[in-house]
Structure 1
Amino acid sequence: MPIFFIIPQNKIFWGIFAAALLIVVIGLWDDKKDRSPYTRFFLNFLVAAITVASGVGIPYITNPFGGVIHLDTWIINFDIFGPHKIIVWADIFALIWIVWCMNMVNWSKGVDGQMPGFVAISSLTIGILSLRFSQFDIAQINITYLAILTTGSFLGFLWWNFYPQKIMPGYGGGALAGFMLAVLSIFSYGKLGTMLLVLGVPVTDAIYTLVRRLFYRQSPFKPDKEHLHHKLLAIGWGKRRIAFFYWFISAVLGFIALNLSSKQKLFAFVLIGALIVGFIIWISRLSKIKGVEEEEI
C-alpha cells in the first residue's frame, strides 16, 4: 500500500481510508446479495458522511464569472468529546457531490474497459492540475501523489477489465472510482468544473438518464438498458469501440480543461453537454429504427 508511505496520515486520511474500505465491503455484500438500489443509495450517503465528518468539505467554489462563491459562511460549533464544527453549506455540498460522483461513474461501467479508462484519464488530469498548484501550495503535491496512485490503480485494473474482461468492477469498483474522483476534485482547490468537463460523457449521460426517468414517471433508481453505452451496443458498436470512444472524449476534454479559464470551462461544458444530448437522442432513434428493421426481417 504505497499510499501509507506517501500521504500524511491525519484525520482526513483515515476518514477517506475508512470510507473507501466501507465501499469495498458494500460492494462485496452487493455482489453476493444483490442489494436494492435504495439500500445502495443510502449507504452512499453513509460513505459520504464519514468522509465529510473527517474534515473533507467544499468551503468555496470558483465563480466562472469572477471571484469565488463562499460556502463557509454558516458554521455550527458544538462540543462532544472535544470541540467540533459543522460548516453547513460546505458539508452539504460535499455530501451531494460525493454521492453524485459515486452514482454517475457507476452508471458508465457497462462495457469492458469503459470505466477504468476514463477514470484513469480523469484522475491524471486532476494530478496535473494539482502539480501546477503545488508551486503556490506545497500541500497540493500530496493530491498529485494521490491522483497518480489512483491513475495507476485503474490502469492496472484496466489490464484485466479490457475486452474480453477477466474481472468485472461490480458495484464496489464503480462506486470507489467515483468516490476517489470526487475527493480528488474537492482537494484540488474545489475544481469541480474541471471534473465535470473531463467526465462530460458520463455526466451528461447521467443527467439525461435522470431527466428521462422522471419524465416518464419512473424511479430514478430503477436500472435499465437505456444508457449511452447500451444504445451504442444496440446500433452495432463493439465493446472495444465504445471503450475507446469514452477514453478519447475524456482525453480531449481533459486537455481542454487544463487550458481553459473557469468561465470558458462553463461554456465548454454547456456546449459539450448539448452535443452529447443530441448524440444520445440521435443514437436512440437510430437504435429504434434498427430494432424495427430486424423485427421485419
Structure 2
Amino acid sequence: MIYISLIICFVVSVLITPIIKKFAFKIGAVDKPNNRKVHSKLMPRIGGLGIFMSFLVGFLLLRPENQYSIPILIGSFIIVITGIIDDIYEISPKFKLLGQVLAASIVIYHGLDVEFINLPFGGQIEFGIFTIPITLLWIVGITNAINLIDGLDGLAAGVSSIAIITIFVMAIIMGDFFVAGMCLILLGSTLGFLVYNFYPAKIFMGDTGALFLGYMIAVLSLLGFKNVTFISFIVPIIILGVPISDTFFAIIRRIVRKKPLSSPDKSHLHHCLLNLGFGHRETVLIIYTMSAIFGGVAIIFSQATMWVSLIVISILLIAIELVVEITGLIGSNYKPILKLFREIKVENMKNR
C-alpha cells in the first residue's frame, strides 16, 4: 500500500499544482523579480500548498499508526500556514521563526527528542537539559536550510527529493516502516510538483513548500536516528550535506563580512556556480549530483566499520573544503588548500 500511495500522491500533485498556480495569481501570492533573484517575470509562489495537499491525501490513504502521526500533522499545518502568510504578505524573519519554533515544539512536546548518543568506544553522551534545545535547533535549522537553497528552478524540490529517498532507504534498512511510508507520500507529492518547478519553472514552491519540506525532512531524519550511536547520529547530517553546508558557510560569510545573519545575499552555492559560468539547468543538476553523492555516502557510512566510516568522513570534509574554495562560497580570496597546492607545484618546478 505504501508504494501505491507514492503513485497516488504524485498524480494528485500533478493535477492540483496548476489549480494552485491560478489561485496564487488570484490572491496575489507572487514573486516579483529583483536584483537578488534570477527570474525575470512575475511568478506564482505558493506551489508548496500543492505539495502539502497531496501529502495530506497520502496521509489519509496510508493512515500511519504511530505516536508521532498527529503531532507531525499539527506541526506541518502550523508551518504551512506560516509559509502561506509569508508568501502573501512577506512577514518578518522573527514571525517566521516563531512559526517554526511552534511547529517544532508540537513534536518535541509529544516525545520527539534526542536524549543521548552512544559513543563508538563505549559510554554515552546524555544531553540532559540540552535535549530540547538541541532537538529544537535541529528542526529549525534544517527547516531554514531547505528554505535557503530555494533559489533556482527545481533546486529545493530536487535536493529535498534526494534527501527523502536516502532517508527512505535508511528506514527500510532499519525496518522503520512508519518513516518509510511517510517518506514515500512526501516524495510522491514533491516529485509531482517538480514536474512544474524544474527549469524553466511555471510555479515556485515559496516558503509554503520550502518550510514544509524542511520541517518534514528534519522530523523524519530525527525519527529514523533517534538515540542511536555517534556514527549513526552523523548520518542525517551527511544526508542533508548540501543544504547544511550552504547554510553553515552562509553564516561564516556573514560573520566575516560583519552582516546580520538574516541578511540575504547572492553568494549561496547556486549563485557561486552561476558566477563560474554554469547555466541554470547545469547548476541545478550539479547540485543534484552533489546531493546524491552525499546520500550515497550516508548509506555507505551507516553500514561501514568504525575506521572505514572515519576515513569516509575525512575524505568528505576535504571534498567540501575544495568545493568551498573553488566556488568562492566564503569569499574569492579564501583558498588555503588551493594556494598550498600551487606553492608545492611552484616549489617542485624550481627544484627540477
Whole-angstrom distance in 2 between the partners of 1:45 and 1:59? 19
Instruction: Find the aligned partners of 1:68 and 1:121 in 2 and give their Cα distance.
Output: 34
Q: From the CA coordinates, give the structure whose radius of gyration is larger.
A: 2
Match of 1:91 in 2: 132
Could you tell me which residue of structure 1 aligns to residue 318 of structure 2? 271
Residue 182 of structure 1: aligned partner: 218
Q: Is the 8 A contact 1:204 1:276 kept in 2?
A: no
SS of the equivalent of 1:58 reads coil
What is the DSSP-based 3-state SS (H/G/I as helix, E as strand, rest coil) of the residue aligned with 2:68?
A: helix
The correspondence for 2:69, drawn from 13, 28, 48, is 13
Aligned-pair CA distance for 1:67: 4.8
CA contact (8 A) 1:24 1:173 kept: yes
The match for 1:26 is: 82
Given the superposition, is the C-alpha separation of residues 249 and 62 from structure 1 closer, same or farther in structure 2, using an over 3 Å criterion?
Answer: farther
The equivalent residue for 1:196 is 237
Give the 3-state SS of the residue equivalent to 1:55 in structure 2. coil
Q: For 2:258, what is the secondary structure of its paired residue?
A: coil
Which whole-Å CA distance do the structure 2 matches of 1:211 and 1:284 have between them? 10
Residues 228-267 of structure 1 show CA distances to partners (whole Å, capped at 9, x for unaligned) of 1112223332211111111111112211211124643543
What does residue range 1-297 of structure 1 map to in structure 2 within 5 Å? Answer: 1-61=57-117, 63=119, 65-67=120-122, 69-71=124-126, 74=128, 88-134=129-175, 140-190=176-226, 191-260=232-301, 261=304, 263-264=309-310, 266-281=313-328, 285=332
SS at match of 1:61: strand
For residues 167 and 266 of structure 2, what CA distance do their matches in structure 1 show? 31
Deviations 1:99-141 (A, max 9, x none): 000111111010001111111111111111111111xxxxx11
Contact residue 161 and residue 168 of structure 1 kept, 8 A: yes
Equivalent position amino acid for 1:181 in 2: I
Give CA deviations for 1:138-161 in whole Å, capped at 9, x if unaligned.
xx1111111122222211111111
Post-superposition shift, 1:220?
0.3
Distance 1:186 1:256, change over 3 A: same
Name which of structure 1's ranges 41-50 and 1-10 shifts more when overlaid on structure 2: 1-10
Over aligned residues, Cα RMSD in angstroms? 2.2
- How big is the shift at 1:216? 1.9
Given residue 280 of structure 2, which amino acid in structure 1 is its aligned partner? K
SS where residue 221 of structure 1 aligns? coil
Question: Alpha-carbon deviation of 1:276?
Answer: 2.7
Q: 2 CA distance for matches of 1:150 and 1:174?
A: 13
C-alpha deviation, 1:92, in angstroms: 2.0
Bigger shift: 170-179 or 182-191? Answer: 182-191
Distance of aligned partners of 1:14 and 1:70 in 2 relative to their CA distance in 1, 3 Å threshold: farther
**Alpha carbons of 1:253 and 1:44: their partners in 2 closer, same or farther (altered >3 Å)?**
same
Q: Secondary structure at the match of 2:266?
A: coil
Partner secondary structure for residue 300 of structure 2: coil
1:85 — aligned with what?
A: none
Structure 1 residue 90: Cα displacement: 2.6
CA offset digits 1:160-191 (Å, max 9, x no partner): 11011111011121111111111111111235
Q: TM-score scaled to structure 2, two decimals? A: 0.70
Report if aligned partners of 1:200, 1:269 keep a CA contact under 8 Å in 2: no
Deviations 1:174-219 (A, max 9, x none): 1111111111111112355222213222221111110111222211
Of 210-219 and 197-206, more deviation after overlay is shown by 197-206
TM-score by length of 1: 0.82
Counterpart residue type for residue 79 of structure 2: I
| Shift in CA distance, 115/67, structure 1 to aligned 2, threshold 3 Å | farther
- Aligned-partner residue type, residue 220 of structure 2: L
Number of aligned residue pairs: 266
